Structure 1
Amino acid sequence: MQKPDQLSIENYNYELPSNRIAQYPLANRDESKLLVYNNRIHSSSFKNLADFLPKNALLIFNNTRVVQARLNFQKISGAQIEIFCLEPVEPTREIQEAFLHKETAVWKCLVGNRKKWKSGVLKMDFLVQGKSAHLLAERLSDEGEISFIRLSWNPANLTFSEVLEQSGKIPLPPYMHRKAEDSDRQRYQTIYAKHDGSVAAPTAGLHFTPFVFDQLKQKNIRFDYVTLHVGAGTFKPVSEEKLANHQMHTEQIVVKRNLIEELINNGNKSLIAVGTTSIRTLESLFWLGTKMHYFPNQPNYTLQQWEAYELAKMPLLTAKQSLQEILAFLDKSKSEIFRSETQILIGPGYEFKLIDGMITNFHQPKSTLLLLISAYLGEFWKTIYDYALANDYRFLSYGDSCLFLHPKGN
């Protein structure tokens, strides 16, 4: 498995006209186009997805929920200050726990118009079930573009999740050149979203509807869930010429024991990941299990940006062996849930260990998401993207979908 750190990002660039970037979703989620690649390119509608999936396939979804992470304050002077909550710091770094916390918390944030906020406490009034509430923000310190913000609220018995739900705005991607609207609260969310924690949607899942799930069930296609809380770094293009100089973002993952057991017992049935976040979670599981095997008895395990490529130099475990290491770790810690963090960068040269196929949207030029796609498709990604551009496919978060199976040359 070849480490892609010396690849030039210019090789993963393409011209994306602005009018091909979907600014709004279609009226019906499952009426998006579906580009199917299974040794040849085929166009269909997403509502026909089940027709193209292998029998008895197992689909893995990311059930994270997008939070209303953008907070708009106004100073007495009239200056507008936007606080974009990225990740919790105090009293806990664990995202799902942080949203259940009450009264006060410290978060890493991006602050829009930060130069206008030298000091002082910002205040925002909002309503909860018709009753007055307020949110205070205090800027504690800065590290580069990141600010550490203490947020406190009244009534103090509200959870932070409830505060954001009533006072915040959905954080639409920067390439949607518009403000979030009420409809985005529903449409920039999968219908199976469950666990608060993301500042960006796992967009491959936005196309799924009850109708599509019914079609999957009729074909005995199974599905299960992981949780990866998507950070703002998912939108960060690779600005360095060489990947070695790019700092990949870290994201928290949560996986239940029963899914790991199901993966072990899946046999030769196809494993299809819904979205790049599900791919990163599943592939990270393999390398985290490998790390447990070769570096046992650590209190916790995380995966760094290039660590998979270093672990690949050791005698390779089977998928079953690696996943059994995670089960043993859970047994030892007497836990039913595996929690970790991953910074894995999947790019050309990476060899997939768990997934057999993927459902994904079309991604930005020069992005780590496009690198992941090219790791699976090889150079054929260019042919597929050229086809999509020539055939009126809609791109990025609210755009159309792809199903990739059996990449060319494999």
Structure 2
Amino acid sequence: MRTRVTIDNRHESTWSRPLPSKSVSGVEVTNGPLSIDDATSGGEMTADRTATFADATEADIRAAFDAENYVAGDEISTTVSLALRLGKPLLVEGEPGAGKTELAKVLAGGFDADLIRLQCYEGLTAESALYEWNYTKQLLAVQAASGPGSGALGTGDRTENDPERAGDSVFAEEYLLERPLLRALRDDGPRVLLIDEVDRADEAFEALLLEVLSDFQVTVPELGTVQATTPPVVVITSNRTRGLSDALKRRCLYLHVSPPSLEKERAILERKVPELDGRVAAELCGMASRLREEPLLKPPGAAETIDWARAVAALRHDGVDGSIDRDEIRNTLGCLLKEVEDIERVDDDLLVTLLDAAETARAEAD
């Protein structure tokens, strides 16, 4: 069985001067439509397949998550549903590897929408997030306007080709380089704007973000104002490396993604690594859950557990079966733990504890 969730609404942006859509480097865009294998086990999903973001029911959202193999509990599904219905940005916080970025990706994939991603980093500027001018192209245009054989800006025949007049025209649409925020406002289709790891950027960028999210518009002084007729779906993620402003939090619906429970993590591995024996998957989840109780520098998230499961499955490609052993754990710990101090913490005593946790989890799975 194959399922799709489709969106039939289209969006337009209004400029004081029209700017045609174009592809710009530096913006990550994932285009629909998609055809997605139904990953549910038995039975047909009955959710509306033509729901728009605005009128998507919680059943539609669950269906989209299921189609994308994303395991989400009631809290996530309900909060996402409310964010879509209320037209508010969704602020998702949690530890690295908890599935925050993946939430935005599956939301876009499940609804056949474009994903526009702005990866935040220290020193991120308004120009990098909104738009820049193609200075090289502008300079070439002004030099060309100076006349043949000029060789330098501001020389040559100025009677037929006036570089000052060219200077006025170089601030035109053809010299504009869109960046993710502007692209999200201008695009004419269903789209999800992912502002990833906003806590890595500084407070100045946060203020800019508030301004854009307030009216979903921005002014380019040389061209005019662009305003999204229908705002994009906005997902903002944070690893909580610093506190975010109260103003930004008030603007959003808040969702905290906690480390998965043992049962939920098993369900995730069943979806993401179906080639791994379910009992071995249960063992890995039991050990990962036990490791999170240790005072680690970087406790493993669901993403690390998935990597670990894939590594174990790859090592067992020749049909090796049975419980995981000490050597397998030792040889694959680098998939789960990413700090040398954390790996060194797994001594013989902790290994015994982990194997006990694995045995308990396997017994519960049986």
The TM-score range, normalised by the shorter chain, is under 0.3
TM-score (norm 2): 0.26
Q: Which has the larger radius of gyration?
A: 2
Q: Which has the larger share of strand?
A: 1
Which structure's residues are more often helix, by fraction? Answer: 2
* TM-score with structure 1 setting the length: 0.24
